[in-house]
């Protein structure tokens, strides 16, 4: 992998990740852009104890542009995008409309491929491996920023999720605090250690392997399963067999095997609802240990993949119980979801 760091016309950082070590990136962003002006502010809710990012400048962000005006495609034919060069493998750049900025953290966009008309599931294993390298490198770099406490790499896929740019891409958030979901995991982890003397993430994986009913895929270094108490209609958690706190500590064998199992999972997701159905909308989320917190080595890196579609033509809405009380009601038994995902193996 070759990494090339440059800047866009408004001073935002842009990074090329190339498979070929001899790739040269010298294109300059010629756009007459004003410096990015953000109004991101973190406010703490005194009742729940969580934090909310107030970011009014995001109201003006790019919204469903036509394909020939996509800001994530390479530049060319007289049209200048967020990527100055005429092609790329993987690109990461600072978001022009960040939810978090400055002392409040950092937001980045990850373009998985220059091909506007594909998806992550359409990548080759080599391309997916390069994305993993980019995620890992960004985690390492953001860990060095004093304002970043936790790094979250994720992909929103599909208009139903709220995606406003159709190009295959994801995002990376560098939060200035431990997120509520991760904080709950840390508390559960500590409680489990206190009660049993064992690691919670190890025991979760061991339970799923012992039960077997919810396991979707197994390889030498990874296990994919529908969790016992799945919140979403179709939800899969992907764990490395060797527990590590974040992407930086995955070994070479796990890195090599990751594209195989992850691409298979994504392709099965697109088969859940049968032939002729539109691509399955999903959120794919890496859960990594926060930095500089006690017991972070006990945390278990894992990826959570889920869809809000519960059946053909119907979405799972977070209505009264979920949105009002944070109590999920799942219409699809986890064992049935796992069985369906085993049935739709990609050809």
Catalytic site positions: 169
CB 174 within 8 A of CB 142: yes
CB 41 within 8 A of CB 54: yes
Across the strands, what pairs with 41? 54
Return phi, psi of residue 77, to 5°: 55, 40
Structure tokens at 154: 């994720």
CB 95 within 8 A of CB 40: no
Length of the chain: 347
Please report, to the nearest 10 degrees, the dihedral formed by the alpha carbons of residues 43, 44, 45, 46 taken in order. Answer: -130
CB 216 within 8 A of CB 326: no
**Do strands 13-18 and 2-7 pair parallel, antiparallel, or not at all (unpaired)?**
antiparallel
What is the per-residue DSSP string for 161-211?
A: GT----SSEEEEEEESS--HHHHHHHHHHHHHHHHHSS-HHHHHHHHHHHH
Q: Angle between the 252-269 and 125-142 helix axes, to the nearest 10 degrees?
A: 120
First to last CA, the chain: 30
Residue 70, number of CB atoms within 10 A of its CB: 18
User: Of 279, 307, 313, 310, which is closest to residue 122 (Cα–Cα)?
Assistant: 279
């Amino acid at each position: 992998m070759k990494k090339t760091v440059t800047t866009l016309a408004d001073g935002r950082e842009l990074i090329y990740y190339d498979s070929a070590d001899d790739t040269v990136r010298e294109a300059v962003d010629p756009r007459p852009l004003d410096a990015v002006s953000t109004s991101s502010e973190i406010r703490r809710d005194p009742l729940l104890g969580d934090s909310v990012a107030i970011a009014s400048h995001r109201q003006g962000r790019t919204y469903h542009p036509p394909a020939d005006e996509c800001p994530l495609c390479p530049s060319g034919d007289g049209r200048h995008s967020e990527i100055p060069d005429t092609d790329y493998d993987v690109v990461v750049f600072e978001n022009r409309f960040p939810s978090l900025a400055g002392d409040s953290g950092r937001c980045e966009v990850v373009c998985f491929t220059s091909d506007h008309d594909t998806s992550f599931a359409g990548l080759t294993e080599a391309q997916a491996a390069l994305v993993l390298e980019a995620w890992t490198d960004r985690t390492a770099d953001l860990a060095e920023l004093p304002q970043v406490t936790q790094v979250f790499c994720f992909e929103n896929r599909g208009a139903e999720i709220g995606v406003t740019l159709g190009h295959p891409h994801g995002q990376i958030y560098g939060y200035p605090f431990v997120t509520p979901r991760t904080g709950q995991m840390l508390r559960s982890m500590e409680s489990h250690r206190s009660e049993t003397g064992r690691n919670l993430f190890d025991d979760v994986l061991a339970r799923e392997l012992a039960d077997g009913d919810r396991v979707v895929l197994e390889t030498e270094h990874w296990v994919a399963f529908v969790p016992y108490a799945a919140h979403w209609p179709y939800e899969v958690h992907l764990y490395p067999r060797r527990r590590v706190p974040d992407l930086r500590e995955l070994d070479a064998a796990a890195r090599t095997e990751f594209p195989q199992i992850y691409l298979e999972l994504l392709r099965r997701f697109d088969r859940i609802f049968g032939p002729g159905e539109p691509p399955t909308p999903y959120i794919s989320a890496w859960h990594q240990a926060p930095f500089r917190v006690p017991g972070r080595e006990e945390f278990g890196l894992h990826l959570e993949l889920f869809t809000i579609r519960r059946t053909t033509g119907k979405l799972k809405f977070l209505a009264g119980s979920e949105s009002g009380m944070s109590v999920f009601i799942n219409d699809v038994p986890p064992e049935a979801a796992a069985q369906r995902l085993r049935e739709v193996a990609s050809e």
